[in-house]
Amino acid sequence: MATRAVRYVVIDAFTDTAFKGNPAAICFLEDGHQVDNEWMQSVAKEFNISVTAFLTRAVSGDNPRFNLRWFTPVAELNLCGNATLAAAHFLLSYGLVKCDVIEFATKSGILTATKVYGIKQSTLFNVKDKNYFKYSGEKESFSIELNFPVCKVIKCNPGEIPSIPETLNGASVINVTKRSLSDDLIVEVASGLDVVNLKPTFDEIRNCAGTGVIVTGPAPPGSGYDIFSRFFCPKLGVDEVTPSS
């Protein structure tokens, strides 16, 4: 159990507007601060946002590595994009690393985050304790590239498909597949506008095969994006992860 205060920030990823995007809580556990799984799960439940990440320093120096774990309000995850991006931005913006490449040791292996200069920042910070961490993010413009494992897409069992149209309230479904590293279903619909406008039935999603349902479609011409997508995962305590493109 934790015996001292834990410093944390809440970060909105995938946006340049405060209180938008995909929020993640980042808890930085300093050297010697021991906590157990039950404590981390309780903290994630207390935050009650899509993901809470826990960082501990594994290797210091010119090639830093951090242990990184992710929890929803009800379960631990094997992989999470927005909270990894948020963790990297936190470390870089607050001067906790002095290099441009960070390694994270996770349940899905070693992930890397690379600082890329001269690109508009893609995350904003809501800082709980501004006096503890020296924030340097406003002094320079940068983006972050993440290197994640490739996840193959495989065919669904025919028995997993029939409930999908009802789940999406009648959106036109073109194809249904699933991720090989998890049992999330991937539902392709006719257009990105269908993705934006659909009103999912969460009780139906809970009854679907698979842990979560990813809905995706081609972005409208002129939008500046390739695809629109939304991810629904009420089984893990997250009705919807904020749409990303």
Residue pLDDT, tens place only, 176-234: 898 877 788 899 999 999 998 888 888 888 888 778 889 999 999 999 999 999 999 99
pLDDT of 124 above 50: no
Query: Does some domain include residue 1?
Result: no
> Do 226 and 197 share a domain, yes or no?
yes
Q: How far is CA 169 from the centre of its chain?
A: 26
Distance CA 243, CA 195 (A): 9
> Do 136 and 167 share a domain, yes or no?
no
Query: Does some domain include residue 2?
Result: no
pLDDT of 53 above 50: yes
State which of 147, 182, 207 marks the end of a domain.
Answer: 147
| Length of the chain in terms of residues written | 245
> Do 216 and 201 share a domain, yes or no?
yes
pLDDT confidence band for 20 (50 / 70 / 90) = confident
pLDDT of 120 above 70: no
Give the residue among 94, 115, 125 at the shortest CA–CA distance from 17: 125
pLDDT score of 140: 66
Task: State the pTM of this model.
Answer: 0.83
pLDDT score of 111: 97
Strands 51-59 and 22-29: parallel
Q: Tokens in use for 54?
A: 């826990």
pLDDT score of 125: 44
Task: Output the average pLDDT for the chain.
Answer: 84
What residues does 68 pair with on adjacent strands?
55
Q: Tokens in use for 19?
A: 């209180």
pLDDT confidence band for 81 (50 / 70 / 90) = very high
Give the residue among 2, 20, 34 at the shortest CA–CA distance from 11: 20
pLDDT of 62 above 90: no
> Do 97 and 183 share a domain, yes or no?
no
> Do 127 and 203 share a domain, yes or no?
no
CATH of the domain at 199: 3.10.310.10
pLDDT score of 3: 59
CA-based max dimension of the chain:
56
What residues does 102 pair with on adjacent strands?
113
Would you call 165 helix, strand, or coil by DSSP? helix
> Do 143 and 172 share a domain, yes or no?
no
The count of other CB atoms within 10 Å of the CB of residue 61 is 9
> Do 157 and 199 share a domain, yes or no?
yes
pLDDT score of 191: 92
State which of 96, 120, 147 marks the end of a domain.
Answer: 147
State which of 147, 181, 214 marks the end of a domain.
Answer: 147
Query: Does some domain include residue 111?
Result: yes
In the chain, the amino acid numbered 200 is P
> Do 62 and 159 share a domain, yes or no?
no
> Do 107 and 183 share a domain, yes or no?
no
The segment with the largest mean pLDDT, out of 14-18, 62-66, 84-88, is: 84-88
Query: Does some domain include residue 48?
Result: yes
Query: Does some domain include residue 53?
Result: yes
Determine the structural domain holding residue 23 and report its residue range: 7-147
> Do 110 and 196 share a domain, yes or no?
no
Query: Does some domain include residue 171?
Result: yes
Q: How many domains does the chain have?
A: 2
Query: Does some domain include residue 94?
Result: yes
Sheet with 213-218: list strands edge to edge: 153-155, 173-179, 185-189, 213-218, 227-233, 238-244
Distance CA 161, CA 163 (A): 6
> Do 21 and 104 share a domain, yes or no?
yes
DSSP-assigned states of every residue in 184-199: -EEEEES-HHHHHH--
Contact 43, 155 (CB under 8 A): no
> Do 22 and 139 share a domain, yes or no?
yes
DSSP 36: -
